[in-house]
């Protein structure tokens, strides 16, 4: 028996607290700190909510019946705001990547930043009221996802 093993055995036998601590299950992995209160992420949530309200207002008003809707000043301004939001999502992704934390949120923010321009393009490319309705619904859903993934309690890595 080596000296190290003999020393470890003697310590285990001499102090009952050591043996008790060794018998305990390992501590659970702590969930990452929530980011929803940080300024960038709070801004993303706020802007996503505002843009979702705009899209929902358009859906309720029936703008999908307007063939020239995508060329309207209202949509052009919205598009610029949505593109800025997508850039903020990518910035959030990069911040989380740099921290090495919250893998799911990091990946979701990147996905949202990549999907936002596609959803905007789908609204612009829609040629029928039904296509515009689907594109607007999907855009509203994506904006809602942007809110929910940031405000959801973070989960530990698996």
* Confidence at residue 102, expressed as pLDDT on a 0 to 100 scale: 59
* Confidence at residue 14, expressed as pLDDT on a 0 to 100 scale: 58
User: Is 18's pLDDT higher than 50?
Assistant: no
- Cβ atoms 35, 150 nearer than 8 A: yes
Separation CA 69–CA 117 (nearest Å): 17
Q: What is the pLDDT averaged over residues 106-128?
A: 96
Query: Which domains does the chain possess?
Result: 39-151 (1.20.120)
- What are the pLDDT digits (tens) for 144-155? 999 999 999 876
- Cβ atoms 85, 116 nearer than 8 A: yes
Please write down the long-range contacts of 2-8, taking CB distance under 8 Å and 24 or more positions apart. Answer: none
Separation CA 29–CA 147 (nearest Å): 26
pTM, entire model: 0.77
* Confidence at residue 34, expressed as pLDDT on a 0 to 100 scale: 82
């Amino acid at each position: 028996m080596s000296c190290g093993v003999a020393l470890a055995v003697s310590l285990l036998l001499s102090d009952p607290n050591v043996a008790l601590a060794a018998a305990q299950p390992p501590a659970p992995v702590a969930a990452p700190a929530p980011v929803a209160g940080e300024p960038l992420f709070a801004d993303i949530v706020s802007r996503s909510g505002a843009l979702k309200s705009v899209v929902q207002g358009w859906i309720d008003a029936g703008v999908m019946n307007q063939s020239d809707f995508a060329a309207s000043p209202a949509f052009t301004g919205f598009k610029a705001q949505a593109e800025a939001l997508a850039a903020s999502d990518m910035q959030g992704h990069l911040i989380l990547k740099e921290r090495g934390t919250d893998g799911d949120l990091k990946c979701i923010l990147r996905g949202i930043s990549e999907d936002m321009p596609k959803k905007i393009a789908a609204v612009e490319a829609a040629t029928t009221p039904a296509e515009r309705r689907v594109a607007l619904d999907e855009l509203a859903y994506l904006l809602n996802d942007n809110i929910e993934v940031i405000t959801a309690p973070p989960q530990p890595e698996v």
